[in-house]
Amino acid sequence: MRDIDIRRALRVEMRAAHENDPNTLILEEMGLCQGLARVDVAVINGTVHGYEIKSEFDTLARLPGQTHTYNRVFDFVTIVTAKNHEAKISTSVPKWWGISIAVQSKGGVEIRVRRRARRNNAVDPFSIAQLLWREEALEALDRLGLADGIRSKRRDALWLRLAESVPLADLSEIVRKAVKGRPRVARESPQQL
């Protein structure tokens, strides 16, 4: 079973779960922490849930680095894997990560939940802020009255000001709203995946 087979099944599942929710955006190949990692699928609504796919042909060599980065950004993470990786993955990812197994069935690939994802209580505000484009970060700082003396600074300084000055729940909401408001939203809505 290849990555594309699992991805196709995951798309169907995500579409079914979120098709009547206009507040949900589903993105594929979402970059994190300025290129440190790229998650296969991200579901953004009242939280940000990352889905990582590991097909039977994938190695798990990148998983430790991905784990470190995903733990900094996502409220929830689920790894969707082929059966051959299940034992190794169950002992190598955090206990709060969800684990789903992709299995071949008569109708195609079926995704079976082994462990449901639980909330990550250790997201990093700076890593969350990095999901904003520079203009979005500056606009947020302006709205909050925090842009004085920093308008011409590099985006790292803007992200740092947000991370240090805005409560995490508020920062997360700012980021989710900005990402969902980007022009590509119409092309990547749940109904079109």
Chain segment 41-81, per-residue pLDDT in tens = 999 999 999 999 999 999 999 999 999 999 999 999 999 99
Rounded distance between C-alpha atoms, residue 67 and residue 109, angstroms: 25
Listed as ranges, residues in the chain with pLDDT below 50 are 185-193
CATH number of 3-121: 3.40.1350
Cβ contact 166:144 at 8 Å: yes
pLDDT at res. 89: 96
Q: Give Cα separations from 109 to 97, 178, 183 (angstroms).
A: 22, 34, 32
Rounded distance between C-alpha atoms, residue 87 and residue 70, angstroms: 20
Q: pTM for this one?
A: 0.92
Every domain of the chain and the residues it spans: 3-121, 125-180
Cβ contact 119:95 at 8 Å: no
